[in-house]
Amino acid sequence: MSKENYIFETKNLSKFFRDPVDFQALKNVDISIKRGEFVSIIGSSGSGKSTLLYVLSTLDTDYEGQIFLDGEDLSKKTKNQLAEIRNAKIGFVFQFHYLLPEFTVLENVMLPALKLAKYPEPEIKKRAMEKLEMLGLADQADKRANKLSGGQQQRVAIVRALINDPDIIFGDEPTGNLDSKNAQNVFDTFKELKEKFGQTILVVTHDMALAAQTDRSIRLHDGEVVK
Amino acid sequence: MSFFKSPVFRIAMTHLVSKKRQTIVAMLGVTFGIAIFIFQAGLMSGFQSTFIEETVNTTANVRIYNDVQEVRQSILEMSNTNKNAWIVVRNQKPKDEDPKVKDGKQIMDLIEKDPEVLGVSPFIGTQSLFRLGLAQASGRVSGVNIEKENAIFDLEKYMTEGNLLDLETSPNGIILGEGLAKKLGAKIGDNMTVTSPKGVALDMRVTGIHKSGITELDNARAFINIHNGQKLLGVDGSYITDINIKLKDINTAETIAKHYHDKFGFKAQDWKAANENIFSVFKIQNLVTYLIIISILIVSGFGIFNILMMIIYEKMPDIAILKATGFKDKDIKIIFLIESLMIGIFGGLLGLLIGFLMQKIVGSIRMDINGFVSMKYLKFNSSPGFFIFAYCFGLIVTALAGYIPARKAAKVDAIDIIRSK
Q: What is the ipTM of this complex?
A: 0.90
CA–CA separation, B86 vs B328, rounded Å?
Answer: 80
pLDDT of A1 reads 42
Residue A184 pLDDT > 50: yes
- Say whether A99 sits in a helix, a strand or coil: coil
Phi-psi group of A70: left, alpha or beta (phi > 0 → left; psi -120 to 50 → alpha; rest → beta):
left
pLDDT of B116 reads 87
CA–CA separation, B29 vs B49, rounded Å?
Answer: 29
CA–CA separation, A91 vs B317, rounded Å?
Answer: 17
**B171, amino acid identity:** P
Q: Are B156 and B183 in contact (CB under 8 A)?
A: no
Q: Count the Cβ atoms, other than its own, within 10 Å of residue B239.
A: 20
Ramachandran angles phi, psi of B119, nearest 5°: -160, 150
Please tell me the number of Cα atoms within 13 Å of B2 on its side-chain side: 2
Binary contact (B325, A172; C-beta < 8 A): no
Cα dist from B411 to A79, B318, B386, B407, B414, whole Å = 12, 14, 38, 6, 9
Q: Are A52 and A26 in contact (CB under 8 A)?
A: yes
Percent helix / strand / coil, chain B, rounded to 5: 55, 20, 25
How many residues does the structure list for chain B? 421
Q: Are A27 and A223 in contact (CB under 8 A)?
A: yes
**A188, amino acid identity:** D
Residue A226 pLDDT > 70: yes
Confidence of residue A163 (pLDDT cuts 50, 70, 90): very high
Question: Tens of pLDDT along B257-315?
Answer: 999 998 888 889 998 888 888 888 888 988 998 898 888 888 888 988 998 898 899 89
- Cβ-based neighbours of B39, under 8 Å, separated by 6 or more: B355, B358, B359, B362, B380
Write b or e for each residue in B140-156: b if 16 or more Cβ atoms lie within 10 A of its Cβ, otherwise e: ebbbbbbebbbbbbebe
| Partners of residue A29 on adjacent β-strands | A13
DSSP secondary structure code for residue B94 in this structure: P
| Between residues B373 and A221, the one the model is more confident about | A221
Of B6, B326, B414, the CB nearest to A87: B326
**B368, amino acid identity:** D
CA–CA separation, A30 vs A105, rounded Å?
Answer: 38
Binary contact (B421, A111; C-beta < 8 A): no
CA-nearest residue to A52 within chain B is: B415
Residue A90 pLDDT > 90: yes
pTM of the model: 0.75
Domain segments of chain A as ranges? 3-226
Alpha helix (H) residue ranges in B315-412: 316-324, 329-363, 384-410
Mutation target vs A (from B321, B334, B411, B417; most A CBs, 10 A cutoff):
B321
Tell me the shortest Cα–Cα distance from A100 to chain B, in angstroms: 6
CA–CA separation, B211 vs B155, rounded Å?
Answer: 9
DSSP secondary structure code for residue B93 in this structure: P
Over range A206-212, report the average pLDDT.
Answer: 88
Residue B411's H or E segment, with its range, is: none
Q: Does A54 touch chain B (CB under 8 A)?
A: yes
CA–CA separation, A129 vs A122, rounded Å?
Answer: 11
Residue B239's H or E segment, with its range, is: none
- Cβ-based neighbours of A80, under 8 Å, separated by 6 or more: B328, B329, B330
CA-nearest residue to A116 within chain B is: B326
- Cβ-based neighbours of B19, under 8 Å, separated by 6 or more: B307, B311
- Say whether A197 sits in a helix, a strand or coil: helix
pLDDT of A216 reads 92
CA–CA separation, A42 vs A203, rounded Å?
Answer: 9
CA–CA separation, B414 vs B421, rounded Å?
Answer: 11
- Residues of chain A with pLDDT > 70: what percent? 98
CA–CA separation, B367 vs B365, rounded Å?
Answer: 6
pLDDT of B407 reads 94
**B78, amino acid identity:** M
Please tell me the number of Cα atoms within 13 Å of B183 on its side-chain side: 18
Q: Show which residues on chain B lie within 8 Å of chain A, measured between beta carbons.
A: 1, 5-7, 10-11, 14-15, 17-18, 317-318, 320-331, 414-415, 418-419, 421
Residue A80 pLDDT > 60: yes
pLDDT of A2 reads 44
DSSP secondary structure code for residue B214 in this structure: B
Contacts of A102 in chain B (CB under 8 A): 14-15, 17-18
Tell me the shortest Cα–Cα distance from B346 to chain A, in angstroms: 22
Question: Tens of pLDDT along A91-112?
Answer: 999 989 899 999 999 999 999 9
Ramachandran angles phi, psi of B243, nearest 5°: -125, 120
> Angle A79-89/B329-363 helices, nearest 10 degrees?
100
Class of domain A3-226: alpha beta
Residues of chain B with pLDDT under 50: 1
* Sign of the alpha-carbon dihedral angle for B232, B238, B243, B247: positive
- Reference B15, options B421, B350, B404, B342; nearest CA is B342
> Angle A79-89/A105-116 helices, nearest 10 degrees?
130
CA–CA separation, A162 vs A189, rounded Å?
Answer: 12
pLDDT of A3 reads 45
pLDDT of B72 reads 64
Q: Are B104 and B243 in contact (CB under 8 A)?
A: yes
Q: Are A108 and A100 in contact (CB under 8 A)?
A: yes
Binary contact (B329, A100; C-beta < 8 A): no
Q: Does A104 touch chain B (CB under 8 A)?
A: no
Tell me the shortest Cα–Cα distance from B10 to chain A, in angstroms: 10
Tell me the shortest Cα–Cα distance from A1 to chain B, in angstroms: 31
